[in-house]
Amino acid sequence: MTRKRIALLGPPGAGKGTQAKLIADKTGLCHLSTGDILRDEVAHGTEIGRAAKLHMDRGDLVPDKLIIDMIHERIAKTDGFILDGFPRTVAQAEALLKITPLDLMINITLSRVEVIKRLSSRRVCRECGKIYNLLFNPPKSKTRCDLCGGELFQRDDDRPEVVDNRYDVYMQATAPLIDFYCERGLLCEVDGAQPTAVVLERIMDLLAG
């Protein structure tokens, strides 16, 4: 595949992380997830991690400047990528425009009811990062990863008291990007309520088109 520059948009829980990993495996594009990078910074107790944690624990967005400074270099040195969780505000989208153009923004849609159901049953492997859902894509054991046997855990920001706020933040700060990319002729939409494999197939068709 030519070195495409793609980004995934959509509410938390729509499947951006799951799809980005699958697309990266299939295409060799570099998967850049601001959420994963931030969680790594938090786990290592870095300055960025300490600054971000407060916002993340509340389900709020981390300030634009911190995010843009953090991701800028990684994007600039990669010629084909799939962005997952960035940009998330109009200011971030404008900053991205100055770094590199996008070929496609894929909006994975999901209703509020589905978002809340999915996030509260999401579990992640501490070792390899594989994402499970106890309702829709359950692991064989509730506590261990099928692939590597790593411990499965619930992200702090997937706790029910935080999930509502994350959806509101998405609607207020991130949903305006739908118009932003539509106006630039870059937006495609995929129904995120479909099974993972169907969503992936649709995205692969869009990338091939």
- 19 forms part of the interface with ligand AMP (CB under 6 A): no
Q: Is 129 exposed, middle or buried (0-12, 13-18, 19+ CB in 10 A)?
A: middle
Output the 3-class SS for 49-63.
HHHHHHHHHHCCCCC
SS3 24: helix
Least distance in Å: CB of 47 to ligand AMP?
16
Smallest gap from Cβ 158 to ligand AMP, in A, equals 9
Q: How many residues bind ligand AMP (CB under 6 A)?
A: 17
Q: Which amino acid is at 123?
A: R
Q: Which of 5, 39, 122, 123 is catalytic?
A: 122
Stretch that binds ligand AMP, among 55-63, 99-107, 109-117, 188-196 (CB under 6 A): 55-63
Cβ atoms of residues 14 and 108 within 8 Å:
yes
Q: Is 155 a catalytic residue?
A: yes
**Nearest residue to 122 via CA among 156, 84, 154:** 154
Residue 125 in the binding site for ligand AMP (CB under 6 A) = no
Distance CA 135, CA 121 (A): 7
Which pair of structure tokens corresponds to residue 13? Answer: 């829980």
**CB-based closest residue to ligand AMP:** 35
Give me the least distance between CB of 71 and ligand AMP, in Å please: 8
Catalytic-residue membership of 166: yes
The tokens for 72 are: 């800028």
Determine, following the binding rule CB under 6 A, whether residue 10 of this chain makes contact with ligand AMP. no
Tell whether residue 31 is a contact of ligand AMP (CB under 6 A): no
- Within 40-140, strands assigned E span 81-84, 104-109, 122-125, 131-133
Considering only 21, 118, 166, 202, the residue that binds ligand AMP (CB under 6 A) is 166
Binding site residues, ligand AMP, CB under 6 A: 12, 34-35, 38, 55-56, 59-62, 67, 85-86, 88, 92, 157, 166
- Point out the residues that are catalytic: 16, 88, 122, 155, 166
